[in-house]
Amino acid sequence: MRQRIRQLARAGVLLAVFCAGKAGAQTCTLSITSPLNFGIYTGAQIRSTTPFAVTCPSGSWDIPLSAGTGVGATENLRYLTGPNGAELGYEIYRDSAYSEIWGDTYPTNTENGTGSYDGTIYAQLNSGQIGPPGTYTDTVDSETTHFNLTVVVQAACTISANPLSFGTYSGAVRDSTTTLSVTCTDTTAYDVGLNAGTAAAATVTNRMMTGPDGALLHYSLYSNSAYSTNWGNSAGSWVSGTGTGNTQTLTVYGQVPANQTPTPGNYTDTITATVYY
């Protein structure tokens, strides 16, 4: 006769069950030695495991796992729930190939066996998901007890920049634009600053490109298409935004003022763009 193990223990807790064997009534136990923690999620796939052990002198057993507490969760796709009900999808498997779903459908999706057994719970957090920073948890039941799963999304931002070229300067005003790409976790507020550049005497309001023999060509960087709002590197001159988890594009407006008479040649500068969050 098969008696299903209808309870799953918290980490470090032994669970007593009844199973039938040749020697009569036997006491079986199920133990989980550590919680299942995915760690920190950055958008890449995470796989995590935790061991379990069934101690059963004789007889057969079966372990079902529920779909968890996430809204819309199924045996095939469970959800960790975080801030304001945000969810991250994951699966639980019975095998190291992450191909056999562990659920509550007997006998195809449950873990079962005979006698004592050491096994592993395999879980996979899917890639490419977006969620606000915070702790995400789920509770998976096996009848009267449960175990918890956890992952943390940390506030994070990245930034990249494209070059800005003014072309050929002949003494008239030269306008040009380029873009910055900012990617921040969902709901993360950020500010982007641009420094003064590499010329020794440059400031964020008086930037300079350096040319032949140290000759200088003045220029400015703005955050608006009217070329009127200076883009600097302190509060009040930053460009601010709120992350969505996707890449956001910011436009930098550059201008070389008229009536400069620099030495002919190539002029360059390097601006450092910093994202604060």
CATH value at residue 14:
2.60.40
262 and 233 within one domain? yes
220 and 113 within one domain? no
Which of 153, 188, 203 is the last residue in one of the domains? 153
Per-residue pLDDT band at 6 (split at 50, 70, 90): very low
Residue-wise pLDDT for 210-265, tens only, equals 999 999 999 999 999 999 999 999 999 999 999 999 999 999 999 999 999 999 99
CA 164/CA 254 separation, integer angstroms: 8
Displacement of CA 252 from its chain's centroid (Å): 27
125 and 67 within one domain? yes
Which of 134, 153, 172 is the last residue in one of the domains? 153
pLDDT of residue 149: 96
Query: For 7-16, 58-67, 134-143, 221-230, which range has the lowest pLDDT when averaged over its residues?
Result: 7-16
Displacement of CA 69 from its chain's centroid (Å): 21
In the DSSP assignment, the letter for residue 43 is S
- Higher-confidence residue: 73 or 56? 73
203 and 101 within one domain? no
Contact predicate 119/51, CB 8 Å:
yes
- Domain CATH number, residue 178: 2.60.40.1090
Domain housing 127:
2-153
Q: Name the nearest CA neighbour of 151 among 264, 260, 41.
A: 41
pLDDT of residue 182: 98
Which of 117, 135, 153 is the last residue in one of the domains? 153
Average pLDDT, the chain: 89
pLDDT of residue 192: 98
State the total domains in the chain: 2
Displacement of CA 165 from its chain's centroid (Å): 34
Q: Name the nearest CA neighbour of 46 among 59, 37, 54.
A: 37
177 and 127 within one domain? no
pLDDT of residue 2: 41
163 and 129 within one domain? no
Can you read off the two tokens belonging to residue 47? 């796989």
- Higher-confidence residue: 47 or 147? 47
Q: Is it the case that residue 271 has pLDDT exceeding 70?
A: yes
Can you read off the two tokens belonging to residue 6? 């209808």
